[in-house]
Chain A
Amino acid sequence: MDFRQIKEKIDAICKARGLEEYKMVFSGSSGLSASATGRAISDTSIEVSSALTFTAVVNGRGGSSSTNIFDDESLEALVDSAIDNGSSLEGKSKCYIFEGSPSYESIPECSYQEPEMSQIVDKVLEIQNQMLDADPRVQEGSDSTIFSEKSTICLANSKGLLLENTCGSTGYYQSAVVKEGEEVKLGMDIAIRDINEIKLDNCVNEAIAKLGSGPTKTRKANIVMSSDCMRMMLSAFSPIFFGRYATLGMSLLKDKEGQSIASPVVTLVDDPFEATSPCPIQFDADGVATYRKSIIEKGILKTLLYSISSAEEAGKKTTGNSGPFLGAEGTSLFSFYLEAGDKTEDELYALAGDDGICVKEMKGLHAGANASTGDFSIECAGFEISGGKLGKSVTSFTISGNFYELLKSIEALGDKVEFGTPHGYTRIGSPSALIRDISIAG
């Protein structure tokens, strides 16, 4: 069903209920994917989905409910449920219906053309065969997937605001399993890319380089954290930059704006229009115009991230970071990344010195990283750094410390930012980083 038809029905239901303030966000998406294992396609999928989140303002607070059924009865139940939810809310947190920003960034109309399933199938078999042929140690259990998704977000509210954004992208991931003797290692590539530009990248070489790995000794050492791993750390600890977390005392950055919280080489940015983003977006879940901002600039905390509601609670202005679009109100990131430094990878290894470690792989951040305390203890794999150069592969060691301290211990950053695959409109990026004196348990 077309969103405008749904909106008209909901407007009528709200009018009948006497509900004056409300907003709704509709998401519609379609996706295709194909995966190959061995030398054959193992599975393909076709997805068409849609969902609607409705928020009713009751006594100044927003109760919400969501559904993916759009018949009259379900839409009435949706509105009634949101009103019921809103009537039980308490506390200082208010819900504001926004009349719209004076202007919104102009972004090109989405021209993304979804590939045909046959094109996806042919390409995924091509890169799977490239992977299997790359080295005799690559196992049949290695797999490749190519996916395509196109989605539209529509936001409307009782003040007449109506905003829409459509984006789409194709991406892939490849997981290379290599075996030598009894030792098995894994290498992985994952990226958003035009289907015609997808080809075997680095996963086989990465897996082979890990062969022959051993333990490392317990010590404090300088580490070079790969861009992948830095990105995972930023993702795990991103809530400390949310204004609401700080207001609630769950981030130690409350009232630290203007203070030094990180090394001077650190500039942390959130940018809805980052040049390589497949999904630029001109509004947040409140309908506020989005914009690029530095959260940390040369080590100084410039701002936390706010929605209208969380900004009001903290006595600040919204930064256009309300989200997610579907579900209850919170804080969202767009392209959230550490700006690049000026060092090549080799220069970072050289700066690490004689007894360093390059961390290339992390596991279990959902359990080993605590955003409310900043503490982390994470299983890693990587390479020793000896004489300023990468040495032997090492595995099953743990790095531990505190993220707030880690920000201050970043001594240098690599010259290339790499982004992970997007989750909705959020993607996180980082260059590699040289970090001093991290505790390592071998």
Chain B
Amino acid sequence: MLSKSLINEVLDAALSTGADFAEVFLENTEDKYIQMVDNAIHRIQGSTVCGMGLRIYKGLRTVYGSTGDLSPNGVLSLARNVAGVFSDAPTTQRTEFAERIPANISPVKIVSSSISNKRKIDLVRKANDAARAYNSEISQVQTTYLDTDRRFWIANSEGLYTADRQIRTRLSCSATASRGSENQSGFYGPGRQAGLEVFLEQIDPADIGREAARIAMVNINAGYCKAGQYPVAIENAFGGVIFHEATGHSLEATQVAYGVSEFCGKIGQLVANPKVTAIDDGTIPNAWGSINIDDEGRPGQRNVLIENGVLKSYMIDTFNARRMEGFKPTGNARRQNFSFAPTSRMTNTYIAPGTDSDEDIIGSIEYGLYAKNMGGGSVNPAT
């Protein structure tokens, strides 16, 4: 997107007022969104997002700037504005680029963004039709297809020059069951870091529609749970979201580096039941959260966060690693897009299998709840 010589000019300008590190992030992302509702393709939206983010560090202070104007004037003007926050003499010289090509752990067979709307609409229609055919009480179905083709380039003053491409594809279905004046809904929406082959060869779109409808029908036939305290057994798979929300976010350096996580200073301590081993793994081929490199250009890693109940690691980006003495970045940097500075975030997070069978877990509960699915949640990491 920008020549190496122009990137060098930007980095030089960014370092000109005393910053000790500068980083350029260039992005060109194309998205496609298709929505079917009421048995008709209601919305098709394409979007292109393209621009540059520029970040500089000076000790424990960071300045971030972004622009969609990639002309030489546009990017150099941004560099001067970002550098203008400091006013010291230069202290750091840029290192010559050593280009790195990341290994590809998520092969893509059919690049979704290269395929016509028609083939994608066929998939959407299959999911929609299966959901509607599931039960006559399914009153509405909303099916959504999304693909993202994200290309990005990272160059920094320490000589890193690298690039990657992340392709993600998702098909989701939301079914509404109606009975009298009551509505209930069901949702199922698998996605992968992969191309259209996911829904042409691996997952039948009709199964997605049927599953959403099945959940909606279970809910319309369900009663309300009496409020109270119960022992709860949580289904595997997406049940892991309770760890993601309640613990994972508290292990991100965004919180830990500022002392506002309940896990601060507890490395090596028992923080969970010894049955619990929790892992964040960005290296699972084609999983939604997998990365060849993170948004700072570091290879994805498998990080054991909690091992047999003992806290082993946090998830750390480069800036917060500066704040956390003795810790190194863990390949967890992520940014929403070029307009945002990266921060530490989970990739694919899960609890490792234990030794207890489902039957033993359920059998241990005299009267309680079985949480079959979860909608998500949120956490206050400070408390």
Contact = CB atoms under 8 A, between A and B. Distances in A.
B42 A43 contact: no
A88 B383 CA distance: 50
A5 interface: no
Contacts of B229: 218, 441-442
Contacts of A90: 40-42
Contacts of B178: 249
A367 B48 contact: no
Interface string B48-69: 1111000000001111111111
Given A43-B61, A66-B45, A328-B33, A367 B380 contact: no
Given A49-B339, A143-B258, A366 B85 contact: no
Interface in A72-96: 74, 77-78, 81-82, 84-86, 88-93
A110 interface: no
A180 interface: no
B227 A439 contact: yes
Interface string A392-409: 000000101000000000
Interface string B182-197: 1111000000000000
B382 A186 contact: yes
Contacts of B46: 64-66, 81-82, 85
A328 B140 CA distance: 21
Contact of B259 (A117, A140, A398): A140
Which residue, of B42, B49, B81, B375, has the highest number of chain A Cβ atoms within 10 A? B42
B374 interface: yes
A101 interface: no
Contacts of A45: 63-66, 341
A85 B44 contact: yes
Contacts of B228: 218, 441
A363 interface: yes
B147 to A, nearest CB: 14
Nearest to B57: A43
A421 interface: no
B183 A373 contact: yes
Contact of A186 (B44, B70, B380): B380
Interface in B336-368: 339, 341
A228 to B, nearest CB: 15
Contacts, number: 188
B42 A93 contact: yes
Interface residues of A, number: 67
Nearest to A215: B229
A91 B62 contact: no
A372 B245 CA distance: 24
Which residue, of B51, B85, B227, B262, has the highest number of chain A Cβ atoms within 10 A? B227
A143 B42 CA distance: 44
B339 A47 contact: yes
A368 interface: yes
A226 B85 CA distance: 40
A90 B50 CA distance: 30
Contacts of B78: 46, 48
Contacts of A63: 44
Contacts of A143: 258
B258 A37 contact: yes
Contacts of B62: 42-44
A177 interface: yes
A364 interface: yes
B7 to A, nearest CB: 18
A40 B375 contact: no
Nearest to B262: A184
A370 interface: yes
Nearest to A82: B46
B48 A49 contact: no
Contacts of A42: 60-62
A48 B184 contact: no
Nearest to A185: B383
B48 A74 contact: yes
B206 interface: no
Interface string A305-325: 000000000000000000000
Contacts of A84: 117
Given A37-B258, A363-B380, A46 B82 contact: yes
A37 B260 CA distance: 11
A248 interface: yes
Nearest to B182: A373
Interface string B23-53: 0000000000100011111111111111100
Interface in B214-268: 219, 224, 227-229, 245, 258-260, 262
A48 B69 contact: yes
Which residue, of A41, A45, A66, A186, has the highest number of chain B Cβ atoms within 10 A? A45
B378 interface: yes
5 contacts: A42-B60, A77-B48, A78-B48, A373-B183, A373-B185
Given A44-B62, A68-B50, A363-B377, 12 more contacts: A42-B62, A45-B64, A46-B65, A85-B45, A90-B42, A117-B85, A184-B382, A218-B229, A248-B142, A364-B376, A364-B377, A373-B185
